[in-house]
């Protein structure tokens, strides 16, 4: 009897263990269901997409002038402050004008003397013209006097040229700015003797508004740029800080250089900027984004959506039942965190922005919308300014 109870107790224990291991939970329909993978989602957006080319460039002053003396003399006045704005015609410096004023006065006196001599010669000529026909004077005397009048008139012309030269030299003693700009560091101090042949000059005046940027692009982009310019509208250029994000100024493409540099396989371009805020400074390195066209209603997604697989690019598309599909895609430019999708996606579809590592086709997902994706979308330039082209 005792052994029977032991056997029954053992059997009951075995049944209890089996129920705990295999039986409990079989009645729960969710116990074996796969858990949803948390992901960040975004949408495929249809919008006008600016087609941009980006190169590295150097800011170059629109005009730079080294102010030099054109006459010798003592520098008696420096009228500018270093680093100050100057307008065209503003006084920069004054060279001692007294020697040049004296030369002008001397030339004027010489002219007055020669004018008196000319008047006297003309009177004598008038007398000979009256007496020669009557035989009171010879023909030779008349011819000689005529020559003297012509000589005196030529001397008057020489005197006028000397006076004009003296006035010009005197004018050179007043040094003015030839353009609107900003002065640099003073290169010579007041009281020094300045010479017309001095290489260093007095100061450098640089025009900052407008200003230019010289930048390079691969030679392969030249046909695209030329085709965009041929449409007639100016191409928009944006100068960016070294981070490639901060916009410094917006201008237009001015010219394409007339040769390709074979050593680098690049072409130089020049863009002009108004530089109203003076965010561009000569010698500064910047990035330049040149807009060469616009794709109307192009499809864009955040760059994190696009994944690379053994067969090329793909994206995880979230279907209405919250499962994912791995769909092959073709892409265009990748600009400021947004990728232009040329094939494979449809407007409004939901795609996985982050969390792809745990996904496979058919995976159930729990999607949270990406709030930053829409804020990162770069806007296209106004259609009136930029000619539309097809996506490359």
Residues in contact with 215: Cβ distance below 8 Å, sequence separation at least 6, in sequence order: 55, 56, 57, 58, 268, 269, 271, 286, 288
Cα dihedral: 313, 317, 323, 326 (round 10): -20
Q: Is the pLDDT of residue 4 over 70?
A: no
Whether residue 373 is predicted with pLDDT greater than 60 in this model: the reply is no
Which of 297, 269, 254 is CA-nearest to residue 388? 297
What topology is assigned to 41-61+207-376 in CATH?
A: Elongation Factor Tu (Ef-tu); domain 3 (2.40.30)
Which tokens go with 246?
């901060």
- 30 φ, ψ to 5°? -100, 0
CB contact at 8 A, 291 and 239: no
Task: Determine the Cα–Cα distance for residues 334 and 357; give it in Å rounded to an integer.
Answer: 22
Nearest to 345 by CA among 323, 322, 359, 327: 327
| 21 CB burial (10 A radius; 0-12, 13-18, 19+) | exposed
For the domain spanning 69-95+177-201, the CATH number is 2.40.50.100
Segment 68-88, tens digit of pLDDT? 999 999 999 999 999 999 999
Report whether the peptide linkage leading into residue 210 is cis, meaning its omega lies within 30 degrees of zero. Answer: yes
Give the three-state DSSP class for 366.
Answer: strand
- Is the model's pLDDT at 19 over the cut of 90? no
pLDDT confidence of 33, banded at 50, 70, 90?
low
Rounded Cα gap, residues 347 and 42, in angstroms: 12
Answer whether residue 139 shows pLDDT above 80.
no
Q: Write b or e for each residue in 60-77: b if 16 or more Cβ atoms lie within 10 A of its Cβ, otherwise e.
A: ebbeebebbbebbbebee
Token pair recorded at residue 360: 């496979």
Q: Out of 30-44, 178-192, 286-300, 324-338, which region has the weakest mean confidence (pLDDT)?
A: 30-44
Does residue 377 surpass a pLDDT of 60?
no
The residue with greater pLDDT, 389 or 359, is 359
pLDDT above 70: residue 389: no
C-alpha dist (Å) from residue 336 to 242, 246, 332: 14, 11, 13
Q: What's the pLDDT band for 294 if we cut at 50, 70, 90? A: confident
**220 has a pLDDT exceeding 80:** yes
- Answer yes or no: is pLDDT of 221 > 70: yes
Tell me the backbone φ, ψ of residue 78, rounded to 5 degrees.
-110, 110
* Interatomic CA distance for residues 246 and 259, integer angstroms: 31
Kindly write down the DSSP assignment for every residue of 192-244, as one continuous string: SEE-TT-SS-SEEEEEEEEEEEEEEEEGGGHHHHHHHHHTSSPPEEEEE-TTS
CA atoms within 13 A on the CB side of 58: 4
Structural domain spans, the chain: 41-61+207-376, 69-95+177-201, 97-172
Distance CA 204, CA 319 (A): 66
**Dihedral sign for Cα atoms in the order 346, 349, 355, 357:** negative
DSSP letters, 344-365, are S--TT-EEEEE-GGG--TT-BE
pLDDT band at 279 (very low <50, low <70, confident <90, very high): very high
130/267 Cα distance (integer angstroms): 81
pLDDT digits (tens, 9 = 90+) for 317-360: 999 999 999 999 988 888 888 899 989 899 989 999 998 888 88
The predicted-structure confidence for 107-123, as pLDDT tens digits, reads as follows 999 999 989 988 888 88
Beta strands in the chain (DSSP E): 37-43, 45-67, 73-78, 85-86, 91-95, 174-176, 181-183, 193-194, 203-218, 236-240, 247-261, 266-273, 285-302, 307-309, 312-318, 324-328, 330-335, 338-343, 350-354, 365-369
Q: What is the pLDDT of residue 180?
A: 94
Class of domain 97-172: mainly alpha
Distance (Å, rounded) from C-alpha 92 to C-alpha 182? Answer: 12
Name the average pLDDT for the chain. 84
Shortest CA distance to 54 belongs to which of 234, 189, 241, 276? Answer: 241
């Amino acid at each position: 009897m005792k052994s029977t109870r032991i056997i029954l107790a053992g059997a009951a224990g075995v049944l209890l263990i089996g129920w705990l291991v295999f039986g409990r939970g079989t009645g729960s329909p969710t116990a074996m269901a796969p858990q949803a993978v948390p992901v960040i989602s975004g949408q495929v957006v249809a919008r006008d997409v600016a087609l941009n080319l980006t190169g590295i460039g150097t800011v170059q002053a629109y005009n730079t002038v080294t102010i030099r003396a054109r006459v010798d003399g003592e520098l008696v006045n420096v009228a500018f402050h270093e680093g100050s704005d100057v307008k065209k015609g503003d006084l920069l410096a004054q060279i001692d004008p007294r020697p040049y004023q004296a030369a002008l006065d001397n030339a004027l006196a010489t002219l007055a003397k020669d004018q008196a001599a000319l008047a006297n010669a003309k009177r004598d000529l008038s007398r000979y013209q009256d007496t020669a026909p009557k035989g009171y004077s010879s023909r030779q005397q008349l011819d000689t006097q005529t020559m003297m009048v012509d000589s005196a008139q030529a001397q008057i012309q020489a005197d006028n040229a000397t006076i004009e030269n003296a006035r010009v030299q005197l004018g050179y003693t007043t040094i003015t700015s030839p353009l609107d700009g900003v002065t640099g560091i003073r290169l010579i101090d007041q009281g020094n003797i300045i010479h017309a042949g001095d290489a260093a000059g007095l100061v450098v005046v640089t025009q900052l508004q407008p200003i230019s940027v010289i930048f390079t692009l691969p030679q392969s982009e030249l046909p695209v740029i030329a085709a965009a310019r041929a449409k007639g509208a100016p191409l928009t250029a944006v100068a960016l800080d070294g981070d490639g994000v901060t916009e410094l100024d917006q201008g237009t493409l001015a010219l394409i250089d007339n040769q390709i540099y074979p050593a680098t396989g690049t072409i130089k371009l020049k863009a002009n900027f108004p530089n109203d805020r003076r965010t561009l400074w000569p010698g500064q390195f910047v990035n330049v984004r040149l807009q060469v066209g616009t794709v109307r209603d192009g499809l864009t997604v955040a760059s994190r959506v696009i994944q690379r697989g053994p067969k090329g690019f793909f994206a995880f598309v979230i279907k209405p039942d919250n499962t994912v599909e791995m769909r092959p895609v073709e892409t265009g430019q990748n600009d400021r965190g947004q990728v232009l999708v040329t094939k494979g996606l449809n407007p409004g579809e939901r795609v996985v922005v982050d969390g792809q590592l745990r996904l496979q086709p058919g995976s159930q997902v729990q999607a949270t919308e990406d709030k930053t994706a829409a804020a990162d979308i770069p806007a296209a330039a106004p259609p009136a300014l930029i000619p539309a082209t097809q996506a490359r």
